[in-house]
Amino acid sequence: MTRKENQAARARAHFPAFDLPAPSPTHAADALTPFHQLIKRLSETYGPSGSEEAVRELARAEIKGLADQIRVDAFGNLIALRKGAGNRRKKIMVTAPLDEPGVMVTFLDARGFARFGMLGAVKPLTLPGARCQFENGVIGVFGRETRGAADTEKDADAFFLDVGATSAQDAPVRIGDAACLVGEFRAAGNLLCGKALSGRARGAILIETLRRLKRATHDVYCVFTVQSQVGARGAGAAAFALQPDYAFVLDATPAQDFPGGDTNLALGKGPAILAQDEKMIASAAARQVLLEATRQTQTPYQIQAHARGGGEGAPIQAAREGTVTGALGLPVRYLHTQSEMVDARDVANIIEILTSVFAAKTL
Amino acid sequence: MLLEKLSNARGVSGDEGAVRALITAHLRKYVDEYRIDALGNVLALKRASRRGASRVPFKLLIAAHMDEVGLLVTHIDRDGALQFEKIGGIDDRVLPAQSVLVGKHATPGVIGLKPRHLTTASERAQVVPADALRIDIGATSREDALRVVAPGAYATFATTFRAFGDNCVRGKALDDRAGCALLCELARENFPFDLYAAFTTQEEIGLRGARVAGHALAPDAALVLEATICDDSPKSREQSPTTRLGAGPALTLADGGLLAHKALARLLAETAQEHKLPFQYKQPLVGGTDAGALHRARAGVPSAVISIPARYIHSPAAVISLDDFGNALKLARAALPRIPDLDF
């Protein structure tokens, strides 16, 4: 190879697009299965905590005909019962959230800029330049004060929302209005990415499990909960009403299989069976049921020894005289951002596991 | 004036007896029955004045908390000075040099601080943490102090209730004796639903009384009457005043523990508009009330909050506007009869 040819080869290596044809796309945009289209619709629907109506209606329409009873409780939880046929049937409750993290307008200044507070665990640092959407379709752009910026990196008070207004009077949003983050759903192979995806993928799991479940042994209550992001407020009320023998919470498990990540939980390696979070030690009996189901279905799983914070398990476990409660986590990268990422194989495996639990002869 | 008596009554969380006595003395004239539960809540029932032939009356719970923030004596030093812990959210900055009343006998005390003459500039730039402060009751030794107080005694701010400015009042514990006074007023009236009036304990340390009251009463809906943050002094940054004094009762859309029931919150706002009563929305997502526990009782209870703006809340001297108080009462009177008709 001459020196010149060598240089050209190196240039190609550094700039592969220079004279090479574009690689054919690995994943065609129209390749979504009907199930993934359902996840996309759920993901892209507006539903911050306290404003779950649209997501609930979508879920309710999807489970029509798949359950023996469907109702909405005083809190707003959507509860679907599929009756079991087993002689020794138990009452099983499974939860997935309807709501997603978002923001709420707390103040409008004279120039029409909004201040906001968090609905759920949205981190201010992920926001500048990102967009949010209100129930009425209004789009807001997040900004951060520049004066004294060094001090305001983490100071939530230094962030604001630009809703395209020129005064408080002409602002298209009002104090108390809630917005969700904006993030289009995308799929790339097994990776699914979108806003609200961690929660809505779990909702889709419940819907798809009901769809595929031919014959349940046990009475299965699928509970699509409200206000999960602001402290698991809906779940405990549902558990009080249902008094289940077993409760399984579908959780979101932060996966950090990325550069500089802290945990060894990963996407695509199966759902995470929770040992404990800060508010609940998962009931041994419930963990055993989940482990047995992974054996039966030969699905991979991970163990989450300790989860930060608390999910929907604690209020369910502590309802009335106590509930045998376990949690199965869907691994998620970039949790509580507009680009939550999950692996379709983990989603499919959770459906397998739940189906196996619901149809198990004994628990 | 009941509000004055309630404000002056001493009732730190866990020690609400004096407030309870005032309230039950008032209530017994107006309600059908009342009881005091294991946590010290006063739970009163005023039955519906009219009831349909077969319809089970709607159960509306209205709650206000009796307790106030204060101090608890934990240890008496050899020299007779009292160590204490804060009960409820008190800013360390408001404590030094305050006059307090300690224990059953309301022994006067002062929270001592080194004289300015003896301090350095850097000492004055720092906040003395509460655990470094002592209450001085003039005792000369531990034995001397033990004659009037013992560890476990509660201390309250010594402020007395006064008229203040333009139809305002100043006093301690207006959070939430203002709500208690409102609820006492409402209990005199007749409503087309079963009114369960809950005067709760231990709100300031985690909504503890309300949690069991909500479970015991199992209401169809709940309304909390509170005194809330009012931070309407000028700011360096244009931001929410939380509420404004005199701008009307404040309605909660969301706070740290509650997303208000939308139809219930809307009903309160629309009623205020229709009756031309001033009202304001409290800055969302800050603070918290008994509704945080009540709405999670049992299988869930639709809940909302009406608050009276109180400047300098959780300090020795809060200020509320009697206009706001009166308008909150008018709003409650007008809105309450409409609540059972909501489609929950």
pLDDT on residue A1: 60
The reply to whether residue B299 touches residue A175, judged by beta carbons under 8 angstroms, is no
Whole-model pTM: value is 0.92
User: Chain B contact for A127, CB < 8 A?
Assistant: no
Q: What residues form DSSP beta bridges with A186?
A: A193
With an 8 Å Cβ cutoff, are B240 and A49 in contact? no
| CATH class for the domain made up of B2-68+172-341 | alpha beta
Nearest beta carbon to residue A74 from set B257, B284, B301: B301
Portion 251-310 of A in contact with B at CB < 8 A: none
Residue of chain A with shortest Cα separation from B260: A50
Domain boundaries, chain B: 2-68+172-341, 70-157
Q: How confident is the model at residue A292 (pLDDT cuts 50, 70, 90)?
A: very high
**Residue B114 has what pLDDT?**
84
The answer to whether B47 and B60 have CB atoms below 8 angstroms apart is no
User: Between the CA of residue A287 and those of A92, A248, A269, A291, what are the distances in Å?
Assistant: 14, 9, 18, 6
**What share of chain A has pLDDT > 70, as a percent?**
91
Between CA A96 and CA B58 the distance in angstroms is: 32
Residue B307 has a pLDDT of 98
By C-alpha distance, the chain B residue nearest A145 is B237
Instruction: Verify whether the Cβ–Cβ distance B344 to A74 is below 8 Å.
Output: yes
**B203 has catalytic annotation:** yes
Whether A241 and A95 have beta carbons less than 8 Å apart is answered as no
Q: Residue A75, CB half-sphere, CA atoms under 13 Å: how many?
A: 31
Strand, helix or coil at A180?
strand
Q: Which helix (H) or strand (E) holds B8?
A: helix B2-8
Contact A204, A38 (CB under 8 A): yes
Whether the pLDDT of residue A32 is over 70: the answer is yes
* CATH architecture of the domain covering B70-157: Beta Barrel (2.40)
DSSP assignment of A112-154 = SEEEEEEESS--GGG-TT-EEEETTS-EEEEEE--TTGGG-SS
Q: Do A227 and B259 touch (CB under 8 A)?
A: yes
Residue with more model confidence, A27 or B181:
B181
Residue A264, pLDDT score: 87
Beta carbon pairs, A and B, within 8 Å: 66
What pLDDT is stored for residue A28 in this prediction?
Answer: 55
Structure tokens at A53: 């109506």
- Domain ranges for chain A, please list them: 34-100+183-359, 113-175
- Residue A52 to residue A72: CA distance in whole angstroms: 12
Average pLDDT for A255-278: 95
Q: How distant is the Cα of B144 from the closest Cα of chain A, in angstroms?
A: 46
- Mean pLDDT calculated for residue range A78-96: 96
3-state secondary structure of B237: coil
* CATH number among 3.40.630.10, 1.10.30.50, 3.40.50.1980, 3.40.50.10190, domain A34-100+183-359: 3.40.630.10
The mean pLDDT value for A219-237 works out to 97
Backbone angles phi, psi at A329, to 5 degrees: -100, 135
Using CA coordinates, name the residue in chain B closest to A238. Answer: B299
Give A-chain residues touching B240 at CB under 8 angstroms. Answer: 106-107, 115
Residues on chain B bordering chain A, Cβ-to-Cβ distance under 8 angstroms: 237-240, 253-254, 257, 259, 262, 281, 283-286, 295-296, 298-302, 344
Shortest alpha-carbon distance between residue A220 and chain B (Å): 18
Is A151 within 8 Å of chain B by CB?
no
What is the reported pLDDT for A8? 63
Give the span between the Cα atoms of A185 and A196, in whole angstroms. 10
CA distance A175 to chain B (A): 8
**The pLDDT value given to residue B50:** 72
Q: Do A75 and B254 touch (CB under 8 A)?
A: no
CATH no. for A113-175:
2.40.30.40
Instruction: Determine whether the interchain pair A233/B295 forms a contact, defined as Cβ–Cβ distance below 8 Å.
Output: yes
Tens of pLDDT, residues B217-240: 999 999 999 999 999 998 878 889
Q: How far apart are CA A152 and CA A150, in angstroms?
A: 6
Which of A72, A77, A107, A111 would best serve as a mutation to test chain B binding (most B beta carbons within 10 A)? A107
Rounded Cα distance, B90 and B343, in Å: 40
pLDDT at A305: 93
**Cβ separation B300–A105 shorter than 8 A:** no
pLDDT at B238: 86
**Mean pLDDT on A170-192:** 96
Q: What is the pLDDT of residue B86?
A: 98
Average pLDDT over chain A, rounded to whole?
93
Of the candidates B16, B185, B203, B204, the residue annotated as catalytic is B203
- A49 and B259 within 8 Å at the Cβ level: the answer is yes
